[in-house]
Structure 1
Amino acid sequence: MTEVRIADNLPDWVKDHVQRYLASDGADGHYWDASLGGGEGMIATLLLTTTGRKSGKPLILPLIYGRAGDGYCVIASKGGAPAHPAWFLNLEADPEVEVQVGADKFRARARVAEGDEREALWQQMVDIYAPYTKYQQATDRRIPVVVLDPI
């Protein structure tokens, strides 16, 4: 993926977060002030780059993450909205993604965690960012837990 763009529909504070993360190679932006989203403290974020399922262009956004074996996990919550976030739909269409965690950049294959793995990762992520519980209560869909396995 070459010319990566930040989605136009993201709030300005999210765009700023991504720009600072990229400009500093993760030194500024790796940690996010969770009070902006209803959580507490400074929480680690990664940058996920997916390929737009309609545009075919790479799109980048920051997500709170946890560890999942040798990889990472993220939550496709969209704040409890009734529909999955666009980035999740993008990785369903093309699961090969690019990830940046701090200064570490790598390619990964995304997959949805199921069963016991999903339950353990969901609890881990709720422990990191408690509002996920409210997000799940706000929607009828089962919020996906996505594992990013390095390739």
Structure 2
Amino acid sequence: MDGREEITDSPDAWVARHIRRYVETSGRARPGMNDLLLTTRGRKSGKLRRTALLHVRDGDRYVLVASNRGADRHPAWYLNLTANPDVTLQVGPKTFPATARTATPDERPRLWALVVAAMPSYQDYQEATDREIPVVVVDRARREQP
């Protein structure tokens, strides 16, 4: 993701409007909310795709939830990052490369409790579907040594 490629925002009109407000306000579109922008590479198209998500912090890591509002299928952004874990995050005014992965079975219970404490509706989403909602851990990409 070199910054010169065109980025396609979410096809969901509400999310696309939120992304525009987020970019225009350097992340202050919804004060008090832990929003970020996640850019993935489309697993089929190869194009850059951007969505807005809530997150919690776990130390230096960002934790995301692939809830898809309790739908019976994973969100496209999650499928994209499982195919290519190199992503870009925008948190407030800062944009940086990162690497995403699904939390391990050992990590998931603690991280799930962390995100449900921050946003109890995730538990409602889990109860609405038979799939286990993935928890995603995102770390800043390490800079390569010269």
TM-score > 0.5, shorter chain as reference: yes
User: What SS class does the counterpart of residue 122 from structure 2 fall into?
Assistant: helix
**How do 1:56-71 and structure 2 match up within 5 A?**
56-71=46-61
Deviating above 4 A after TM superposition, structure 1's stretches of 4 or more consecutive aligned residues are none
User: What SS class does the counterpart of residue 133 from structure 1 fall into?
Assistant: helix
Query: Which residue of structure 2 lines up, in the alignment, with residue 4 of structure 1?
Result: 7
Q: Is 2:131 the partner of 1:137?
A: no
1:43/1:128 contact within 8 Å kept: no
Q: Provide the TM-score with structure 1 as the length reference.
A: 0.86
Distance 2:110 2:73 in 1: 23
Q: Is 2:14 the partner of 1:13?
A: yes
Identity %: 47
Root-mean-square deviation over aligned CA pairs: 1.3
Distance 1:70 1:7 in 2: 26
Distance 1:7 1:104 in 2: 20
Gaps of 5+ in 2: 142-146
**How do 1:110-129 and structure 2 match up within 5 A?**
110-129=100-119
Matched to 2:51, the amino acid is L
1:46/1:102 contact within 8 Å kept: yes
Query: Which residue of structure 2 lines up, in the alignment, with residue 109 of structure 1?
Result: 99
Q: Provide the TM-score with structure 2 as the length reference.
A: 0.89
**How do 1:80-119 and structure 2 match up within 5 A?**
80-119=70-109
Alignment length (residue pairs) = 138
Distance 1:74 1:133 in 2: 14
Distance 1:7 1:13 in 2: 9
Cα deviation for residue 43 of structure 1 reads 2.1
Cα deviation for residue 147 of structure 1 reads 0.4
